[in-house]
Structure 1
């Protein structure tokens, strides 16, 4: 699909549509939708901003490329004055006191926020069922999950309720729902976009990223949000990605894929066959394809969840109803803390906090947590060696098609294993993009750190190849 942002921008400039009419149309679709994608609508704010854009156009003033473009925000981002719930009971009435850096950059560019979007509570899940607002329903088949944790964001884009949405990816939470809904979703290089103002899940792998229907829209939004931020010391200055630079696949000579991903008993025969068919089409274009060795899926999943649970236990320790949150009074302060957290956190969140505290506890941290850190370093070193041999790594996004709503909640272990093909790239802090081609749940394109441009280049190549 061609760029929706460029199309709408031209329509606004030519006065074939008004920004107010566009925003009203999208808000109506969001309010009527039956996919459970909406936590709260930002109607008043959106309409006020739209009126300002229309006024500028009437006055003959130039508008920026993102000015007047409606977008959605996963409900883990602070937007001053709005309710930010993280789809949790604990924060169901919490109002943001400030705005996340990435969102502020979009607001500064004139983009118009429409909605805070449904997601797994605190990002804990791979299906967007772990939420007080009801399970997000897949855009293609509402009997299936929308994917997680950025399920509401992906479904809103797929259904054209938003032009683009901002998700959050810790272990695949943008890429997997994008794959489940046949759209694009990017996890940028860790540190390219500021994490300031996002509710932290696992700080060492949390990434802010765009979800959209075209590579060009991903590029535009990525450029707008990127850059160093004094409020997030993990950020770095990055060059803007030029539109012409990603139109050619020049410079991409070799593609690799992990043999054990494709030979695994866990992958469905259909996804395996489709992936290998895509590989043959790439070879036919003259690109060399190499098989690579990687860690087993169980090792990747265990390493990721060991570290992610430890970090979330630490990050969520502040949520006890004292400074913010839905406080439940008990007989004494200790009981108040216990009851507040026990009653307000979901079962999945409690499972991850307990697991995190376990791996950090005395007697376990050396045997489990430190081993996890060592494995993360080994995974990063493996990637460094791989990118000396290949320019791009291609992989399925998931080993299987989306499950039916309810199935993931019955089997948390199966839900964790569904992340087997995404978590490794998170641990490596690499730029990875889901594209809606190749298999039923798309393909995943990965490049070396800070090579986000190369990922977008190859995405354009695949669009014309598969």
Structure 2
């Protein structure tokens, strides 16, 4: 199977390349890049670790599969001693006091961190324009957005500035930019990977996940990062996925798709045509295609954003400049809080905080917030029913191609609607993988909870079929 990780590992072991030279090459590419993917370089740390890997190889010591592999980190993860800004004015000078569990597992495996990557501030956005470091530019066309909120992470992988990157997905923030930049991006089952050390956006849907150029690299990274964590009580036990277990498609017999996604008036005609053509190719392989009913896109987006805004209003209430962050003094404490938050949060973050506080306020919580919670339960029940009938749900990643930089900022509602095909799976806490085939923004493969093996197996089948 294709794997950049395995290829580079072999080159290191056989001394075709040195780890120091590899890391320096990637750092140079990141410094020179004009896609605005970099918030801060971890060059000192990276080169120190690379020297140690080279020393081990020179001494004839065995190195692990991830040892010496350069990677990127979305700038919402704590890495001790590094700037963790969330692409915001509020935290632009904040340094992490500890390291996120998922990142620590990669460091323990010997992977080398190169860069903290540009993203929408606090994950608030679907275009990676809502950032103090300037809009991230699409890897394929610099006039277009990179997608968000993990835009910098997706572009770095697509441009080979990093071998892989770790993004964060709340409502599509790994899957959508992966689709826009033609790479693989996985949102695992909620709780499979610890969220400890990831800045919280919406705690009930936040997921840690990898972006890479191959299915095999996604499998390797998923195995390394998965597992229970005493620091995150939502984590679950999971079994390792073996390479040979995803090489054939024996178990996938029935594929489902949501007819209202395809019949939506807002879907790009070319994306619709390509998606339907993909279904026909799958059908030709003897797999049954089943049409499924689901909630309409407006209901999914409204439910997701009601809950996400409520949770982010609660989570970001701690950021007031008192314990950390860029404090701006006012005439009194209350004034200081107000000025600090109004001056340091972006317009989009303030929009979500105000919206979240509104739906949680007296007189609105019963009418709006509790209704959204009930709808989330109905969405989960719908998925439970669907996965009794199908093995996989296939869908477009987005209804449209990436917009030009600047267009999303003019129309926040259009930005929210770009998440129409991703947020439902987040509400259901299901594993979902973007693959760079089928439509111009890829395809989205979804399986039942904890069925990542089935997901990766079918992704390999698609790669060979379409």
Distance 2:249 2:71 in 1: 29
Distance 1:405 1:121 in 2: 16
Q: How does 1:40-439 map to 2 (within 5 A)?
A: 40-439=40-439
TM-score w.r.t. length of structure 1:
1.00
1:305 counterpart SS class: helix
Distance 1:264 1:337 in 2: 44
Once the two structures are superposed, residues 307-338 of structure 1 have per-residue CA deviations (whole angstroms, 9 ceiling, x without a partner) of 00000000000000000000000100000000
Distance 1:52 1:277 in 2: 50
1:344: how far off?
0.2
TM-score w.r.t. length of structure 2:
1.00
1:416: how far off?
0.3
Distance 1:240 1:115 in 2: 28
Distance 1:373 1:52 in 2: 50
Q: CA RMSD in A?
A: 0.5
1:434 counterpart SS class: strand
Once the two structures are superposed, residues 360-385 of structure 1 have per-residue CA deviations (whole angstroms, 9 ceiling, x without a partner) of 00000000000000000000000000
How many residues are aligned here? Answer: 466
Distance 1:306 1:231 in 2: 27
Distance 2:116 2:132 in 1: 14
Distance 1:320 1:55 in 2: 46
1:289 counterpart SS class: strand
Are 1:36 and 2:36 an aligned pair?
yes
1:35: how far off?
0.0
1:388 counterpart SS class: coil
Once the two structures are superposed, residues 109-129 of structure 1 have per-residue CA deviations (whole angstroms, 9 ceiling, x without a partner) of 000000000000000000000
Once the two structures are superposed, residues 126-176 of structure 1 have per-residue CA deviations (whole angstroms, 9 ceiling, x without a partner) of 000000000000000000000000000000000000000000000000000
2:290 counterpart SS class: strand
2:90 counterpart SS class: coil
1:237: how far off?
1.2
Once the two structures are superposed, residues 209-255 of structure 1 have per-residue CA deviations (whole angstroms, 9 ceiling, x without a partner) of 00000000000011110000000000011101000000011110000
Distance 1:12 1:453 in 2: 29
Distance 2:352 2:457 in 1: 37
Distance 1:200 1:40 in 2: 21
Once the two structures are superposed, residues 81-107 of structure 1 have per-residue CA deviations (whole angstroms, 9 ceiling, x without a partner) of 000000000000000000000000000
Distance 2:36 2:342 in 1: 25
Distance 2:372 2:410 in 1: 27
Q: Which runs of 5+ in 2 are unaligned?
A: none
1:239 counterpart SS class: coil
1:389 counterpart SS class: coil
1:2: how far off?
1.7
Distance 2:290 2:122 in 1: 38
Distance 1:214 1:226 in 2: 18
Distance 1:252 1:180 in 2: 27
Q: How does 1:18-29 map to 2 (within 5 A)?
A: 18-29=18-29
